[in-house]
Amino acid sequence: MSLFKFALSADKSATIRRELGNNAAAYFAAMQAAEKAFFTEITNDHNQESLTWLQLRSQLITRIDNFELAGLDDFNIMQIQNVSPLQNGLLRQVEVVTLTSLAAAIEDISRQRWLGFDTETAPTFEKGKRNTNPISLIQIATATHCYLFRMQAENKQPFIAALNAVLNDDKQLKVGIGLRSDINAMKRDFDISISHILDLNWLLNQLGAPKQLGTQQMTATVLGLKLPKSKKVTLSDWSKPISEPLTELQVQYAAADALVALDILHGLIEQIKPYKNLWPKALIQRLTELDY
């Protein structure tokens, strides 16, 4: 990603592609070549680090248009990609938790330092009405697993009791994107308070990103991967009875949002840690608190 792309919004890039047609790729290549030559000319021993940091930040916070997004490899929930040399290639599993497997899932979750977190709620189709349906599914990801908790029927009370202790644990960081609505809904629906959280929107904001970059864009800019988002799956029935299993597409969709949160966190830190002396003060303070 080049600096001139940072100055263009994704919709402006799309306009350029539309207007120039087959010549658009050549235009962007020429601009990138000119920018590379410019930076080569002005870079010296005194400013090299700060200029590289500027280019990295612009890459991490610049929205990618649909054309570029389509060219990226898909995010794979079963294997870690593009995060760090130590983690890349690690295999993962997704498990829909039952009353029988609850204790083992909670034991594994309790041993972790970082947890990816997300929820799913049955949609409302009343135009203009805020969705106040209760949470149907809670997703908690570790480095190697994603646990899906269906919060219906006989599962509900045992799951609430088990999750309350885990999500209130200050020793574990809960990582997600746009967490405020999830936190409010967890308190409203289950009287569960979630402590020690990190919203990745805040993290990217410290680097200059717009207020809400979004999961799909973060996956693209930080990991260089495409997170498939199906509106049909988003609006599917998450509240169906326990006797009806989630579809494979629902399982993949739900697991991806929790798993990718951890990947984005670790992938982002891996990229920016060489420039710690240039981090904004708020970022230094927060990540120091997290022992990064």
Q: What is the pLDDT along the chain (292 residues), one digit of tens a residue?
A: 567 777 666 777 888 888 888 888 888 888 888 888 888 888 888 888 998 999 899 999 998 888 899 999 999 999 999 999 999 999 999 999 999 999 999 999 999 999 999 999 988 766 666 767 899 999 999 999 999 999 998 999 999 999 999 999 998 999 999 999 999 999 999 999 999 999 999 999 999 987 788 999 999 999 999 998 888 999 899 999 999 999 999 999 999 999 999 999 999 999 999 999 999 999 999 998 887 7
Beta strands in 26-163, from DSSP E residues, in sequence order: 73-74, 93-96, 114-121, 135-141, 145-150
Asked if 255 and 139 count as a contact pair (C-beta separation under 8 A), the reply is: yes
User: CA 252 → CA 168, 188, 233, 234, distances in Å?
Assistant: 27, 27, 10, 11
* Calpha distance 266→272 (Å, rounded): 10
* Calpha distance 125→105 (Å, rounded): 34
**Which residue in this structure is represented by tokens 């330092």?**
113
Q: Which CATH superfamily is domain 78-289 in?
A: Ribonuclease H-like superfamily/Ribonuclease H (3.30.420.10)
H/E segment holding residue 176: strand 173-176
| Amino acid present at 173 | L
Q: pTM of the full predicted structure?
A: 0.91
* Calpha distance 147→164 (Å, rounded): 15
Domain extent listing, the chain? 3-70, 78-289
Asked if 95 and 145 count as a contact pair (C-beta separation under 8 A), the reply is: yes
